[in-house]
Amino acid sequence: MSGQVREWRPDWPCPVAAVLRVHRRGPGDPTYRIDKAGRHWLGLRTPEGTATLRVEALTDDGLVRAIAWGAGQHWALDGLPALLGAEDDPSGFEPRHPMLADAQRRHPHWRISRTTRVFEALLPAVIEQKVTGQEAFAGFRALVRRHGEPAPGPAADVDLRLQPSPDVVAAIPSWEWLRLHIDPARSRTLVGAARVAGSLERLGGVDHNEGDGRLRSLPGIGVWTSAETRVRACGDPDAVSFGDYHVAKDIGWTLVGEEIDDDALAELLEPWRPHRYRVQALLAMTGRHRPRRGPRMAPRTHLPR
């Protein structure tokens, strides 16, 4: 199957890998592959149908080539600039702290990606609620393997797959969720969200605060899940992951020299509004975090039946 090609030169030297990294849910994500040539493959469900999108940086000054296959190929290529951060506006952001200034100096061309695909961002975010990364990534992989489908075009070369559609997610029975090691609280949230997936997709075009309110009106979706979804689907530069096990502690340790809680994090980040997520992301890219003490949290070996 021949694909459609688009070459695009952004107004800045776009670091493709750094911008797209947020969409990869663990190293074994079946919907996101990186081949031996360093090209990024994404399996997408678009309003026009399924698509495979392959993206690569051709030159150091930012020329990007993308090839797309499938019924949604035109939609996928039209969305390439937004996917690579063209709609993100970092103007007005001031580091105001030596650590943050250093992070911005190291990553001056990073931008916030925007996919507009709300349910595809929400599904893995719900799976990641209140569990270890290892357990979350394993659950997502199992869901995609068992209930997703192969991505179109030559995606078999990299074993690329698509997330299951909302209709498929809504029809998965309770016992099957347990086989996927996704507990009833998260599976109920996913099934409920899948049943209103059509209306969720419209959130990509509304005000960020309105989008947050609508997402959090759904049972089982709180501030953390909303932020994780809005960052990826809506490119919200202010969507802080409050409620995360590490974020507040790591940002506090980096900026003020001690671990803090969410309330203190909200106060600390207030001067950076409406760029609070930009602070979180830039500091995360430096790799700095508080010293880890004690054994790592182990994934659960059983779930309630």
Which residues on neighbouring strands pair with residue 137, listed in sequence order?
none
* Structural contact between residues 59 and 51, judged by C-beta atoms closer than 8 angstroms: no
Q: Work out the average pLDDT over 177-204.
A: 96
Mean pLDDT (the chain, rounded): 93
> How far apart (Å, rounded) are the C-alpha atoms in residues 44 and 51?
5
Q: Decide: helix, strand or coil at residue 41.
A: strand
> How far apart (Å, rounded) are the C-alpha atoms in residues 113 and 231?
8
Specify the CATH number of the domain 4-89. 3.30.310
Closest CA to 60 of 18, 19, 16: 16
Q: Work out the average pLDDT over 1-8.
A: 89
Query: What pLDDT is stored for residue 206 in this prediction?
Result: 83
User: Which string of b and e fits 202-220 if b means at least 16 CB within 10 Å?
Assistant: ebbeeebeebbebbeebeb
Query: What pLDDT is stored for residue 300 in this prediction?
Result: 52
Query: What pLDDT is stored for residue 2 in this prediction?
Result: 80
> How far apart (Å, rounded) are the C-alpha atoms in residues 293 and 290?
9
Instruction: Write the secondary structure of 276-297 as one string of H (helix), E (strand) and C (coil).
Output: HHHHHHHHHHHCCCCCCCCCCC
Helices (H), 128-201: 133-147, 166-171, 174-179, 184-195, 197-200
CATH topology of domain 118-148+165-234: Endonuclease III; domain 1 (1.10.340)
Domain ranges of the chain: 4-89, 118-148+165-234
- Please give the single-letter amino acid code of residue 1: M
> How far apart (Å, rounded) are the C-alpha atoms in residues 281 and 4?
33
Query: What pLDDT is stored for residue 305 in this prediction?
Result: 42
Q: Do domains 4-89 and 118-148+165-234 have the same CATH topology?
A: no
Query: What pLDDT is stored for residue 293 in this prediction?
Result: 63
- Please give the single-letter amino acid code of residue 56: E
**For the chain, what percent of residues have pLDDT higher than 90?**
88
pLDDT above 70: residue 221: yes
Side-chain half-sphere CA neighbours of 246 within 13 A: 16
Q: What is the pLDDT of residues 60-79, one digit of tens each?
A: 777 999 999 999 999 999 99
pLDDT above 80: residue 296: no
Q: What is the pLDDT of residues 92-105, one digit of tens each?
A: 999 999 999 999 99
Q: Decide: helix, strand or coil at residue 85.
A: coil
232 membership: H or E segment, kind and range: helix 223-234
Band (304; pLDDT cuts 50, 70, 90):
very low
Q: Residue 260 corresponds to which tokens in the numbers above? A: 């803090």
Beta strands in the chain, from DSSP E residues, in sequence order:
4-8, 32-34, 40-46, 49-57, 64-69, 149-150, 161-162
Please tell me the pTM assigned to this model.
Answer: 0.92
Q: What is the pLDDT of residues 241-256, one digit of tens each?
A: 999 999 999 999 999 9
Query: What pLDDT is stored for residue 204 in this prediction?
Result: 79
Closest CA to 216 of 226, 207, 203: 226
